[in-house]
Amino acid sequence: RMTVPISVTNPELLRHSTELFMDSGFSPKSQRMGAMVAFQRFEDFVRNFDEVISCFANMPKDTPLFSEARNSLYSEDDSKSLREEPIHILNVALQHADHQEDEQLVPSFRTFVQSKKNILVECGLRRITFLIAQEKEFPKFFTFRARDEFAEDRIYRHLEPALAFQLELSRLRNFDVTAMPCANHKMHLYLGAARVKEGAEVTDHRFFIRVIIRH
């Protein structure tokens, strides 16, 4: 779906402009599509999954499902890691969750996503993110990526995926990074263990803090 700025003061211009942007010949063939759906509960999404995924299944046949993308968390500067990666995105917002604890929520999401993995791949899904709304609290985010065989991307848990690049985790490429719980949702705390040769003891451990500045 595209939002098109159109002047409504001239009805004739409105008609022609609308026709122009509705013409599929005008739009580029390679379009990344994102969808966001909202349900009361996870069970409602499961029940309506086929209808939701049909948005991607009905894409024009000549629309590419893949683009060249980089392979790993730290590979922004590594041209050798280029490979094809799906381009579409699905965000699922849930008003209520059956459990409050992350470790009780994740297995349900993981089991479902794994059961639909083949469909997600066929439809060119790059990632699927579950957003759990919480009254008077920061929402929870759980992201499952195609590059990880649709396992959860634990590093970016509770971080809006579209903002993840701003953390610049590529600067931590010399460390194996683990996300740590943090009471302040504006702050992202990571424990880094220096990368060493196989079999060698890790003696360098550091904490890293990342914050996204919003203006």
Say yes or no to pLDDT of 72 above 80.
no
Q: 178-189, pLDDT tens digit by residue?
A: 888 888 878 889
Question: For the chain, how are helix, strand and coil distributed in percent, rounded to 5?
Answer: 30, 30, 40
User: Domain residues of the chain, as ranges?
Assistant: 1-30, 31-167
Q: Which residues contact 93 (CB under 8 A, 6 or more apart)?
A: 36, 37, 38, 39, 131, 133
User: How far is 181 from 192, CA to CA, in rounded Å?
Assistant: 14
Q: What confidence tens digit (pLDDT) does each residue in 131-140 have?
A: 999 888 888 9
User: What is the bridge-based pairing of β-strands 175-180 and 151-152?
Assistant: unpaired
In this predicted structure, the answer to whether residue 16 has a pLDDT above a threshold of 50 is no
Could you tell me the pTM of the whole model? 0.70
* β-strand partners of 127: 89, 145
* pLDDT-derived band at 144, boundaries 50, 70, 90: very high
